[in-house]
Structure 1
Amino acid sequence: MKNNNNLLGSASTAVMRQFLHAARDYGIEPEDALEACGLPLGVLDNQISRTTGSDLQSLLRWLIEKSGDPLFGLHIARHIQPGAYSLVGYMAMNSRTAREALMMVPRYETLIGDMGITKIERRNGNMLMHWVCHYTDPIVRPQLIDNVVASWVYFARWLTEMPEGRPLEVLIEHAAPNDKMRAEYEEIFQAPVTFNANMNGLVFCESILDIKLRQPDPALLSALEHHAATLTSELQSSNSLVVQARSILLSMMQSGLPRRDRVAEQLGMAERTLQRRLGEVGTSYQQLLDSLRHEMSMEWLTHSDLSISDISDRLGFSEARSFQRRFKAWTGITPGEFRRAHHGQAAATARSVSSDIEHTTEKEEQLDA
């Protein structure tokens, strides 16, 4: 079950610890979960250590399936604690206002993990806080999205001492659940929830940002921020080659076929050097390419009218059948089924959070770049 590639980056073990703690609600002991996923029992011993994103995703999938709860991510959000957000949670606690606390998230969220990217912007006179999820496992992704967005609400209520605080609107990308489950979303958020949205996030009044928090400590906040900036710089340095290579590959996919020799050339190194340096940070050119193929195929299937054949060509597959086989290995369903699922057609909505959690087998297949 354990996957050793580095394509999903890393995450603070505080995140893993939070999920394992919450899973006790379902009678799941942390030791049993770690053992089942092939993870060392001591992985949580160090409060400031990190785990790979692939290990976290595998653990989440196991917990979701073991729990049997189709709303696992939504339900366990109530357990959120400042420590789950690593150093960012403690900086938020010591901020003077909700605005100051909120702005910590996009600036330092890599300290929490590389699960996704948070963006904050004004929208029609209100504020929009939305999250781009990096995880692609079809079982994990909708549950993680629910968990992140619900955790924001629970943490904000605790931080502002407003237990009845509510957003104006909640946006969720996955399909709408049945009426009973929809009612659970609305009860937790105390706000209308829009499913099949083009993003995941919250819309709220800007005036909320001026709320003063209960225990500001400017001196401690300054010290924590200095430490956070140092840690963030170190993380970005170690990931810089992967980020650059992914950016080049993405550009190539938009305009032509991706090629390893051209990626190496744009990075100013030989192909062998590129392979060696990627290996040193736990990945490879082929893994980067497959990861981007996976991400872009879902993006184009969801948000474009490109045919499956056109998508296959853009991704650099030799034929559409090769792309279809690879996509099914990634997700457990065909490209056509994935596209229909996003548009809410009945044949595929059983794969949404309202369905019983289904088990799909991961497959490995090497494709020439």
Structure 2
Amino acid sequence: MTKVTFPQAVDTLSVGLLNVMLWATTQAGADYAELCQKLDLTPAQLTDPDARVPIATIQQLWAEAVRVTQDPHLSLHLGEKVGLGDIGILGYVMSHCPTLGAALNQLVRYQDVACSGVKLTVRREVELCWLDMAITSAAIIYPEYVINSEFSTYLTAFRALTGQPLAPRELHLAYPEPADTQEHERVFAPARLVFGTAQSSISFDVALLDLPIINANPVLFPLFEQHAAALLSRLRQPSLPDQVKHEIVDLLKGAEPTLATVADRLTMGVRTLQLKLKETGHTYQQLLDSVRHELACRHLRDAQFSTTDIAFLLGYSEPSAFVRSFKKWTGQTPGAFRK
């Protein structure tokens, strides 16, 4: 059996972006309370503007959202519905930059505050400016949805910031060309679309970087930027839930890690750990399920692992117990997920 590499941290995104998806899904008839229950979320988590949710959670929501809305192009349409406020503090930082170029630099700098599962870089050429995006999170199991929604969101944001109908020149998408590209052509018009590239990128005329941001307030910028910097710093320091997940991953090799074992490794009592996790809105079981869910999706994408192998790696005593858990998390069996 091939050596398994376990993740060392849990990638997260702003709760504001999750709320946009929940809103779009409930508008199409989904039951809000039922969705929250499926995603193991509480109303308190969804109303805190600085709250974070695992990327695995929104990936779980994608399949359900597409099914309920019956919109195969939901990932393209979602970006058209996202306002700057939905991006959270990052949107406010960009809103008070002097120019589009400065806003683009802040987007790259604070991207992790919105979503820590992708990495952005800027390339400047003589005539074009490229915004490159690389997916960095193993929790992202629907890269096409992420790429579409990210780029359509950026385009909507740039147009809102400048008050101009900015026209992208070229769009590179790192996934195979779909049978129907009409909606891609409409959303990103008049850009030339190229599918199946090594990385995903969008380009604009470099002169557009000098466009002023409408309604920018230089007095407010440092206030919002300071808050964004504090959030970014906090993200890069492992929280208690992240520390617990790290220990679970380290122990999850053929047996289910117990709360007592994890507490001992963190040099605290069981009751103390439970109380501290409760203060963050988590339970030990939720964190264990989250780690297992992410690892299960990763292993199922590797054809060399059987369901029995994966059940063992995730600490289940019987493959049937793993199958039941996976169906609870995703609504489908491991076999259906692989197809």
Q: TM-score, normalised by structure 2?
A: 0.68
Partner of 1:152: 154
Q: Distance in 2 between matches of 1:155 and 1:320?
A: 46
Partners of 2:34 and 2:285 lie apart in 1 by 28
Q: 1:74 to 1:135 in 2, by over 3 A?
A: farther
Q: CA deviation at 1:33?
A: 6.7
SS at match of 2:301: helix
Residue matched to 1:327: 326
Q: Report the equivalent of 1:212.
A: 210
1:84 maps to: 86
Cα shift at 1:15: 6.2
Using the TM superposition, give the Cα deviation of residue 85 of structure 1 relative to its aligned residue in structure 2, in angstroms: 1.5
Matched to 2:201, the amino acid is: V
Partner of 1:164: 167
State the distance in 2 between where 1:167 and 1:250 align: 41
What is aligned with 2:269?
A: 270
CA–CA distance in structure 1, aligned partners of residues 288 and 47 of structure 2 = 33
Aligned residues: 310
Asked if the contact 1:166–1:191 (Cα under 8 Å) also holds between the matched residues in 2, the reply is: yes
Give the Cα–Cα distance (whole angstroms) in 2 for the partners of residues 207 and 265 of structure 1: 57
* Residue 71 (structure 2) aligns with: 69
Percent identity over the alignment is: 27
- 4+ residue segments displaced more than 6 Å: 7-10, 35-39, 58-63, 133-136, 234-237
Quick one: which amino acid aligns to residue 133 of structure 2? M
Matched, 1:130 2:134: yes
* Aligned equivalent of 2:311: 312
Deviations 1:151-175 (A, max 9, x none): 1233235446462214440235xx8
CA offsets per residue over residues 28-64 of structure 1, 9 Å max, x none?
A: 7xxx97688689xxx89x997467859x969988865
**Contact (CA 8 Å) 1:11, 1:51: kept in 2 or not?**
yes
Q: Equivalents in 1 of 2:69, 2:254: separation in Å?
A: 44
Shift of 1:148: 3.0
2:193 maps to amino acid: P
- Conserved 8 A contact 1:93-1:159: yes
Note the residue ranges of structure 2 that are not aligned, 5 or more in a row: 1-9, 38-42
Letter in 1 for 2:94: A
- What is the RMSD computed on CA atoms of the aligned residues? 4.6
Is the Cα–Cα contact under 8 Å of residues 11 and 137 in structure 2 kept in the other structure?
no
For 1:100 and 1:78, the matched residues in 2 are separated by 22
Q: CA deviation at 1:210?
A: 8.2
Shift of 1:295: 0.6
TM-score w.r.t. the length of structure 1 is 0.64
8 Å contact from structure 1 (residues 106, 118) kept in 2: no
- Any residues of structure 2 matched to 1:1-369 within 5 Å, and which? 11-13=14-16, 16=19, 20=23, 49=49, 53=53, 66-98=68-100, 100-105=102-107, 107-109=109-111, 112=114, 116-121=116-121, 128-131=132-135, 146-159=148-161, 161=164, 163-172=166-175, 177=178, 179-180=179-180, 182-189=181-188, 190-192=191-193, 194=195, 202-204=200-202, 208=206, 211-215=209-213, 217-230=217-230, 240-253=239-252, 257=255, 259-260=257-258, 261-303=260-302, 305-340=304-339
| Structure 2 Cα separation of the partners of residues 250 and 194 of structure 1 | 36
Q: Per-residue CA shift, 1:100-134, capped at 9, x if unaligned?
A: 4234346545655xx653312479x9652235579
- In structure 2, C-alpha distance between the alignment counterparts of 1:68 and 1:15, rounded to whole Å: 19
